[in-house]
Copies of this chain bind each other. A is one copy, B any other.
């Protein structure tokens, strides 16, 4: 056992579910960024673009709620996606303040390629689990979210 593992093993952290969730997610996030490369979509931008494609004309505030991201953080993500010409803002008839989001043709193309890469990244990373275990993990995580609400990221 290494010095590090010994240090972790003796602390209270390893028995905390939250700590284990966080550590697992850090591994996924790191590999996600490596997979999409420098200048590629971040996990958040990828998620935002995915929802804009599946729900064209979604408003910025509905997108923020759906993703569990604070409004201010959402604006930065949308600005970046618009700057990269992956989506466009359009007016909402009858609501001058709201803005509806639409993917560009380029946005759809980039997303499709990113999704294929992300699918491979998940297949590789979670290959440590068999199909049943993967389904079980997703089921537990979804049930947790359904019971506990969306949460908002700072």
Main secondary structure of the interface of A (DSSP, over half): helix
Contact A21-B17, Cβ < 8 Å, known A11-B51, A12-B54, A129-B140:
no
Q: How many Å from the CB of A4 to the closest CB on chain B? A: 5
Q: How far is the CA of A141 from the CA of B153 in the complex (A)?
A: 21
24 residue pairs from A and B, CB less than 8 Å apart: A7-B54, A7-B55, A7-B63, A8-B51, A11-B54, A11-B55, A12-B54, A12-B115, A16-B122, A18-B28, A21-B28, A22-B25, A23-B150, A24-B145, A25-B25, A26-B68, A27-B144, A27-B145, A27-B151, A28-B151, A30-B154, A125-B148, A128-B144, A129-B140
